[in-house]
Each structure stands twice: as C-alpha cells, then as structure tokens.
Amino acid sequence: MAKRPPPTEFIIERDDEKCIACQVCVRMCSNDVHSYDAQTDTVFSDSGKCVGCHFCETICPTGAITIGRNPSEFKLNANWNAQVIKNIIKQAETGGVLLTGMGCDKPYPIYWDHIVLNASQVTNPSIDPLREPMELCTYIGRKPDKLEIDYSKKEPQLKTKLNPQLKLETPILFSAMSYGSISLNACKSLARAAGEIGTFYNTGEGGLHKELYKYSPNTIVQVASGRFGVHKEYLEAGAAIEIKIGQGAKPGIGGHLPGEKVSEEISSTRMIPQGTDALSPAPHHDIYSIEDLKQLIYALKEATRYNKPVGVKIAAVHNVAPIVSGIVRAGADFVAIDGIRGGTGAAPTVVRDNVGIPIELAIAVVDQRLREEGIRNQASIIAAGGLRNSADVIKAIALGADAVYIGTAALVAMGCSLCQSCYTGKCNWGIATQDPYLTKRLNPDIATQRLVNLLRAWSLEIKEMLGGMGINAIESLRGNREQLRGVGLSDTDLKLLGIKPAGEAW
C-alpha cells in the first residue's frame, strides 16, 4: 500500500456516560469532526480531521470530550522523529510546501527562561506599587540629542522642537495582524482594547476597514510590500506609520492571502479585485538599499506633514544590529524587531521553524550597537516575537527595548489555543477566518474585555516587579541590564545578551 491517509494527530475521547448527544459539538466543529447518528442517538467523532483547537471540549456542557495526543508511536528515533516522518508522508502525498500558522514551535533555547530579575534587599528600599506612584508611561519616537531651554523669559521655555511621539500608558502594543488574516471582529476587539488601555494596535498589511476608522487615534497603519489599502486617508488615519520589511515567522518571504478569503469587504479594504489572491512580494520592489528605505520613510513623512512617527519593522536575522543602525540613520522614528518565535497566519513550516534568530539576542545586540554608535535616542525599539507574559516584557525592556508588541498572547486571550491551523481559514474561535458562520463567534464586547484584562494584569505585574527592584518608572529600567542575570547560559550567550551570570555581583 503506497497510498496512506494523513496521520492522525489527535484522539478525541468521548465519555459516553457524560455525552448527552446534545450535538453542540456537531454544530460547532468547522472541521466536521463530530457527526450525529439519529438511529442510535449517538455522536461519533472522526479523530483524523481534528486539528486540536479544543473548541468542542470548551463548549461541551457536560465535559464529555477530551482531546488527547495520538499515542500511536513510531520506533523511537532521535533523528527521524514522528514529526519528520509525518511531514514526509504529507509531502509525498501532496507534493506541496507544508503550511502552518502561529510562531515557531521548535525547542530552541528560550532565553527568557534563562534570565532572572533582581530585587532590592536591605541596602536599597523596594517600592510598594499599591502605595506609591509607579510610572509605566512610555513614549515611542525620536528623542532629541539634547534639550535647549530658554531661561530669558519669566517661565522657562523649551527651545528644542520635539519630534512626534506615541504615548503608551503601558509598554505593550498589539502586533500587526491584518484584516484578512484575522476577522473584522478580532480587529475591532484589538482596536477597542488598545483605546481602553491607552496603547496601539497595528493594521498589518490589510488596509483599514471603514468601520475601523473611528479607532484611528490608537491605530498604527502599516505599509507593506503589497501596498494593500494604502491611500491618503489611510496614512492620515494612523497615529503612526510602520513600513513592514519583514516578519519574524517568515523572514525573507512575502505573504499570500488566498483568493477564497478575499471577500467583498476585504477586496474593498485592500483595493484588489474580489476573489483574487492577495500576494505580498518578498521584497519591497522599490527598496533595495538603506537609501531606498530612506526615500520611502521620507515620502511617508512628507505625505503626513511630519505629524506622526514613521517606523520600520524587520525580522530578527543574523545581521540585525547593523541593519537597524542603517534603518535608524535612514530616519525611522521607531524600529520593530520580530524574533523567530513571532506568529503568522500562514507560512511555510520550514521557513517558520528555521529562519531568523531569537528576539532576546536581537534586542541585546541592537541596543548595544545603537548605544555604541551614539544613536540609541534617535529611534525607539519595539521587541516582538513570542513574548508570553509580563516577565518576558520586563526582561525585554531591561535588555534595551522601549516597548513590546504582543500578537500571539493577544490571540490566546481572545480564545486561540494555538492549533496552528490559521491558514485553513476554518478557525473555530472566529479569529483567523472570514467565514461569516465563524466570525460571529468572536463577540468584540467579550474579546475587548479579555484583552483589557490581560494588559491590565500584565501592567500590574510589571509594576510589582519594578517596585521590587526599587525602580518607580519603567524608563529607569530600559537597557538596565544590571537588573538581569543569566542562569545556565554559555559565556558567549552572556556576552551577546550583555548580562552577568547569576551569582556575580555588580
């Protein structure tokens, strides 16, 4: 038998004592896993179709469903492990590129988990954030080299002209996720949550739907290689503009929104014909050098009368530090760097899992390089790519980032369970889909509240940790690597991260 069906990844266990055959799972699964047999009044499940999104398990009123990993094992082999074999089977069957969603899931070292934070003891007091003010407010944008103040008048006047800044109440923004890759309800939830918390969300390269214009004070609009939906009103609507060069999940390659997803609404938002594939080229066809990038940065600044910050987003790659140096010199007001664990709606698995570098190292080397060159103040750094909790955020800031982008964490707050099947367009949670049956499953009222809760919780935790270090403003932690120590890292890792090993005093 040369032909074989795709391997079964999950096994659905249905507790027959608990199953009441109410058929909620049958109605809800977009992958048609469950089916009802009226003759026997029984619900059957076809585990082979299950993607492991846990929607049925979550919604089952009696808790009768459990999703487990398929226990079927191949002969143990460190080199030819089950995933490798399964991928070859799939490719032998289809002859195609293996697609996936979300961020890299390979067990590369997670440096966050090898970095520990400091706290005050005896010689310096810690601060209780519940009793004393604690400042998380962050400004994103170009800072002046020096401040000149005119003391000749009665009140001192600031002589230096300040550049446009984004004011963040907490140093966390929502990453670029386009309308197209995620549903309009998901975009609305992100936009509303950003407004409530006092931060920003990013349109991605999907343009700005007409219903999202009202959230423009909290919107960062993206200009990507496909230039989808970029026009005068779009640029003017954003509080800032971000030029997307690369993305952590797929550095060096473009994007592809399949034609089936290009509905009437998406077609008008992206300004492309309905039903056609939305192809974002791998490079910007007008950017082949830092000088070309400078032209685009200034074209956008010119178009918006220098009223808003213009930034550049790149994927963290081997040469990230010199690249960012060039970007800052080209006039970017902020640089977003997306690490290897950054998510995506669709990417070739091989690219997602093998291209790019972890964000921890990228932040450290970029911050170091910009400081050495004396241009760190000229641009803010936004770190992205798999930040999972408030500890990752605070460590990123201590390594040198100004703020962080969260994408995956925000999606998880809205319901996502990281089944990595975004590219199928059948997201049961109503997030990564355009199917009207599915998109209504994401109620923006609920999702907004959950996002707000997440950011509020993280902000409180950050304040607690800051207070513990005896610091009362997040600005005082930025690049303050003395507050970090490495555990179980090699000398080279420590050198690149610019931190001391745990146990070594100041």
Q: How far is the CB of 425 from other proteins (least distance, A)?
A: 15
Check: CB of residue 454 under 8 Å from CB of residue 447. no
Query: Helix, strand or coil for residue 293?
Result: helix
**Residue with Cβ nearer other proteins (56 or 320):** 56
Judge contact between 357 and 316, C-beta under 8 A.
yes
Binding mask 405-444 for other proteins (x = CB under 8 A): -------------------------------xx--xx-x-
- State the Cα–Cα distance between residues 477 and 117, nearest whole angstrom: 11
Q: Which is nearer to other proteins, 21 or 494 (CB)?
A: 21
Near other proteins by CB under 8 A: residue from 7, 9, 11, 28 = 28
Closest CA to 139 of 380, 431, 364: 380
Site for other proteins in 32-61 (CB under 8 A): 59, 61
Name the residue nearer to other proteins (CB basis): 57 or 461: 57
Strand partners, 473: 135
- Residue 27 makes contact with other proteins by CB under 8 A: yes
Q: What DSSP assignment string belongs to 368-405? A: HHHHHTT-GGGSEEEEES---SHHHHHHHHHHT-SEEE
Applying CB under 8 A, does 20 fall inside the site for other proteins? yes
- Does position 121 bind other proteins by CB under 8 A? no
Angstrom distance (rounded) from CA 458 to CA 168: 14
Q: Token pair for residue 211?
A: 């219903």
What angle do helix axes 184-197 and 444-468 make, rounded to 10 degrees?
A: 40
| HEC assignment per residue over 11-25 | EEEECCCCCCCCCHH
Secondary structure (DSSP) of 153-202? SSS-EE-SPPPP-EEESSSEEEPB--BTTB-HHHHHHHHHHHHHHT--EE
Single residue of 7, 9, 21, 211 touching other proteins by CB under 8 A: 21
Residue 95 in 3-state DSSP?
A: coil
Indicate which single residue of 6, 23, 44, 159 sits in contact with other proteins (rule: CB under 8 A). 23
The three-class DSSP label of residue 321 is helix
Q: What's the closest the beta carbon of residue 229 comes to other proteins, in angstroms?
A: 24
Site size toward other proteins, by CB under 8 A: 19
Contact 196, 224 (CB under 8 A): no
Minimum CB distance to other proteins, residue 396 (Å):
34
Least distance in Å: CB of 259 to other proteins?
Answer: 20
For other proteins, the closer CB: 193 or 393? 193
Scanning 14-22, 68-76, 124-132, 202-210 for contacts with other proteins by CB under 8 A, the matching segment is: 14-22
Nearer to other proteins (CB atom), residue 24 or residue 375 = 24
Contact window for other proteins (CB under 8 A) among 15-23, 154-162, 244-252, 260-268: 15-23
By beta-carbon proximity to other proteins, the closer residue of 61 and 144 is: 61
**Site for other proteins contains 94 (CB under 8 A):** no
Q: Which is nearer to other proteins, 405 or 429 (CB)?
A: 429
CB nearer to other proteins: give 20 or 303. 20
Among 6, 13, 18, 130, binds other proteins (CB under 8 A): 18
Ramachandran angles phi, psi of 65, nearest 5°? -105, 135
The string of DSSP letters for 27-74 reads: HH-TT--EEEETTTTEEEE-GGG-----HHHHH-TT--EEEEE----P
Q: In the set 93, 132, 445, 504, which binds other proteins (CB under 8 A)?
A: 445
Query: What are the distances in angstroms from CA 422 to CA 47, 77, 451?
Result: 19, 30, 20
Structure tokens at 143: 């800072």
Choices 21-29, 166-174, 175-183, 213-221; region in contact with other proteins by CB under 8 A? 21-29
Of the candidate residues 62, 91, 157, 276, the single one contacting other proteins (CB under 8 A): 62
The contact mask relative to other proteins for 150-169 (x = CB under 8 A, - = no) is --------------------
Q: How far is the CB of 24 from other proteins (least distance, A)?
A: 5
- The answer to whether 331 and 297 are in contact (CB under 8 A) is yes
Name the site residues for other proteins (rule: CB under 8 A). Answer: 17-18, 20-24, 27-28, 59, 61-62, 436-437, 440-441, 443, 445-446
